[in-house]
Structure 1
Amino acid sequence: MPATVMRFLAGLALSLALGTAVAETLDRIVAVVDDKVVLASELESETALVRQRLRQQKVNLPSPQVLERQVLDRLIMERLQLAVAGRMGIRVDEGTLNAALQRIADQNGMSLSRFRDAVQAQGMDYAAFREDLRDEITIRRLRERRVRTSVNVTPQEVEELLNNARGEDSTEYLLGHILIALPERPEPEQIRAARAEADETIAKLRAGQSMDAVAAAHSDSGTALEGGNLGWRTAARLPTIFAQQVQGMSPGEIRGPIEAGNGLHIIQLLDSRDGDRKLVTQTRARHILIRTNEVVSDSDARTRLNTLRQRIDDGADFAELARQHSEDPGSGVRGGDLGWVNPGTMVTVFEQQMDRLQPGELSLPFESQFGWHLVQVLERREQDMTQEMRRAQATAELRERKAEEALEAWLRRIRDEAYVDIRLGGE
């Protein structure tokens, strides 16, 4: 996610005060990425934003040189992904961008005009904020198309996970993670250097330095600037190489270096908790799906759904309109009925939109990786955890694990295949 958007969303409630923003810099090229460049002014601006966000989160900052290099690596990866998206024809139109801005404003209890004022009050240019958000949506669409939609989970894998989990509790783990990256086919000297850095990193952790500071200084993972924090996860939702380690660890314990295809990993168990849930809230919903393609744009799909929404408000039958217009072959023939939906079953954006609705309420059109949706919640109920729910959770966990591993491999591949010339002082 672009750093400007991350900084604003994390800090809005804290009423940030950047003052006069970043000092003016004589521009020069600090990196060449294929046929694109990264300017010193961009790097300085993004570094200032990241530094401000880390301070708010009380993350110990690495040295200025290390932080600058971490931010530059992130900017390089953004450039590479946006270039791939451009070649694939992935575009975010003005209507989609405006709808995303409105959602962010709504989530913060603001009108769009107040939201614009809040962005500017934090020393940020609103037009630049819009473009950063456009880039964020573009990269998300790219990752969904290139990685997530290609991930396949088989019934056999689900059954194997369920069988292995029988008799185990649903403990959740909070892991800190550091990656010392290696290229796809490393030279012996590169391997030796990576092992030496991994040993130095582990020594710092065992000497009492915090995971967030060491990760920010040493990790090549995408979570480096978040202090290496992977968030609360069950073992099943962790990458396979970590799941094999974590269940035998005690809080504070460090494991590594763990060798994998993309480099050497170091993990630290920060905390654990009982994540068992006895009841879940199920939602019965129905939807109408309009897919985009070379002929149907985002704007076309949204307009069609707004027209259908108005017809439903005027008394038209949702089910009949779904049978006529929905492009979801599974639910369309059932009048859009999705049946009883368990938490974690649907893609994140769909579930978030559905969860905001009261029974009988109709959503505004919104976009997911599958197209544009109009959703209506019919009813909700509390249910005991069933085997069906366990299977749905297992499927989601396997898909998330595979998607993370596939994304890491894909990002490493496009980085290795690109021409990147870094021109920081001393490099």
Structure 2
Amino acid sequence: MKQAMIRTLAALILVLPLLATAQSDGQPIDRIVALVEEDVILQSELDQAIDAISQQVRARGENLPPRSVLEEQVLERLIMQRLQVLRAEQTGIRVSDADVDNALNRVAQQNNLPLAQLRRVLESDGIDFEEFRRDIRHEIMTSRLQQRVVNSMDPISGTEIDILLASDQFSSEEYLLSQIVVSVPESASPEQVQEAQSRVEEIYRRLDEGMAFSAAAISYSQGPDALEGGDVGWRNASALPRVFAEAIQGLGPGEVTEPLRTPAGFVILKVRDVRERSEVMVEEYRARHLMISPSELISPEEAREQIQNLRRRIQQGEDFAELAREYSSEQSTANLGGLLEWFPAGGYGPDIQEAVDSLEPGELSEPFRSPRGWHLVKLLDVRQTDRTEEIRRSEAREMLSQQKSQEELDRFMRQLRNESFVEIRL
């Protein structure tokens, strides 16, 4: 009780200057809607977040739930964001101004705008640029915190991959899923479990009566993707917990599972689409390569002349491999006569790939330049290779990694929420 009182007083001290300013300017007081550790969330922050989410929901052509429901959902997201930022700060995660600038430049590039124009666009929409910078900084901090959590896990072993591939869990089908989550606290009482079960059964009843799944997710789901209509994205059945994989097996687009019990609560899944993974055939190339790099002893012009001379000698019948051993600056392949053993497209970079793509087997390229020097390439052969098994192992590793990462992040989020002081005043 004493600790909670100290936190409350600290939070009030933080917000008093703001309240005093609002009163002196004759503006309405910006009330506190939640205390989060020693920090606060204000009504204005909640309103701004609700406006942003509302625009996204309308853009997807979906109906908004009642304001009170949306407030509850958005406030919980703000609380979790704030808790993650606070934990990141406590554990020494820092984000430099240069990191923020780089992120802002990427945002500007993605929108095909110069950074200065991005700022004008944001401000014309009523978004304070410094607040936008702060939000970007917090997103980077949160991302680094989550990455730290994931990195703390044990790596996926080859044995785990073999077991998955040998089991009937590794499916060739992929599902586009949405979910509705009703959480149950860790160490929940039987009453809390029963309350959650009643809630998920009521949601399931409303879905059965025709309520849109995305609208139900926005209104009722406690998952991190609730405000996106519960969109999970494409998932291979093998990457899902067994209870989920078994529940969706045989379901077609538009079908919904019954409520599923999980360690974290209850989940309803919707299958939005299904697709089959196909055989993976990859084009591979075998070639020889020779490079002359400018140096203190060879000027760029001399390197160009030397590569042209070597091309003439090869055309006149001299052996490419012998010339590569004698003259090539590419030490990793010179002793092999410049041999580039079977490699996939782009395996040796875009410059060599562009030259290879212009050749038929047996043909010699024209000299071409890259930042490293002047090059010759002779294409020896092309083949189609079945990479299905290699891709399957890679996918199995990725599936196991995603599954374990998501489970660890879910566990971390629940623990963070349960351990933290949060007082909702909505």
Q: TM-score, normalised by structure 1?
A: 0.69
- Tell me how far 1:25 sits from its aligned partner: 5.9
1:159 corresponds to 2:152: no
Is the 1:171–1:276 Cα contact (8 Å) retained in structure 2?
no
Amino acid at match of 1:81: Q
SS in 1 for 2:272: strand
| Separation in structure 2 between the aligned mates of residue 89 and residue 38 of structure 1, nearest angstrom | 23
Q: Does 1:104 align with 2:107?
A: yes
Q: Is the 8 A contact 2:95 2:140 kept in 1?
A: yes
- The answer for unaligned runs of 5 or more in structure 1 is 1-23, 284-313, 316-333, 344-353, 362-375
**In structure 1, what is the Cα distance between the partners aligned to 2:221 and 2:399?**
25
Are 1:61 and 2:56 matched, yes or no? no
What is the distance in 1 between the residues matched to 2:283 and 2:190?
54
- How many residues in Structure 1 have an aligned counterpart in Structure 2? 323
Q: Tell me by how many angstroms 1:244 deviates.
A: 2.4
**Alignment partner, residue 225 of structure 1:** 227
Question: Residue 413 of structure 1 corresponds to which residue in structure 2?
Answer: 415
Equivalent residues in 2 for 1:58-97, closer than 5 Å:
58-97=61-100
Name the structure 2 match of 1:261: 263
Aligned residue identity for 1:211: F
Does the CA contact (< 8 Å) of 1:169 and 1:276 recur in 2?
no
Correspondences of 1:244-259 after superposition (within 5 Å): 244-259=246-261
Cα deviation digits, residues 147-194 of structure 1 (max 9, x gap): 24425312111112212369x763221112111101001112111111
Change in CA separation of 1:198 and 1:129 when aligned onto 2, cut-off 3 Å: same
Deviations 1:50-95 (A, max 9, x none): 1111111122211111111100000100111111100111011011
Report the Cα distance in structure 1 between the residues aligned to 2:154 and 2:250, rounded to whole angstroms.
Answer: 29
Shift of 1:138: 0.6
2:47 aligns to what? 44
Q: Structure 1 vs Structure 2: percent identity of aligned residues?
A: 37
Amino acid at match of 2:422: V
Between the aligned partners of 2:36 and 2:343, the Cα distance in structure 1 is 44
Amino acid at match of 1:186: A
The aligned counterpart of 1:121 is 124
Q: Per the alignment, in what secondary structure is the counterpart of residue 414 of structure 1?
A: helix
AA of the residue aligned to 1:147: V
In structure 1, C-alpha distance between the alignment counterparts of 2:225 and 2:398, rounded to whole Å: 21
Taking the aligned partners of 2:384 and 2:111, their CA distance within structure 1 comes to 29
Contact 1:151 1:403 in 2 (8 A): no
* 1:25–1:54 Cα change, 3 Å: farther
SS at match of 2:180: strand
Aligned residue runs from structure 1 range 321-400, under 5 A: 358-359=350-351, 384-400=386-402
Q: Which has the larger radius of gyration?
A: 2
How far 1:253 sits from its partner (Å)? 2.3
Change (3 A) 1:107 1:382: farther
Please give the TM-score of this superposition, normalised by the length of structure 2. 0.69
Of residues 275, 278, 288, the one that matches 1:276 is 278
Note closer, same or farther for the CA distance 1:341–1:96 as it changes in structure 2 (3 Å cut): farther
Q: Secondary structure at the match of 1:180?
A: strand
Looking at structure 2, the residues matched to 278 and 163 of structure 1 have their Cα atoms a distance apart, in angstroms, of 19
Q: Confirm or deny that 1:146 pairs with 2:149.
A: yes
The AA in structure 1 aligned to 2:224 is G
1:137 to 118, 130, 140: 140
Could you list the runs of 4 or more consecutive aligned residues of structure 1 that deviate by over 4 angstroms after TM superposition? 280-283, 339-343, 357-361
Q: Which residue of 1 aligns with 2:181?
A: 179
- Structure 2 vs 1, CA of residues 111 and 341 (structure 1 numbering), >3 Å: closer, same or farther? farther
- Give distance in 2, aligned partners of 1:414 and 1:341: 47
CA distance in 1: counterparts of 2:36 and 2:128, whole angstroms:
25
Change in 2 beyond 3 A, CA 1:87/1:250: same
Q: Once structures 1 and 2 are overlaid, which stretch shifts more, 69-78 or 141-150?
A: 141-150
Contact 1:239 1:405 in 2 (8 A): no
Structure 2 unaligned spans of 5+: 1-26, 286-298, 301-331, 334-340, 354-371, 378-382
User: Residues of 2 paired with 1:49 and 1:97: CA distance?
Assistant: 21
**Structure 1 residue 229: deviation in Å?**
1.2
**Helix, strand or coil at the partner of 2:227:** helix
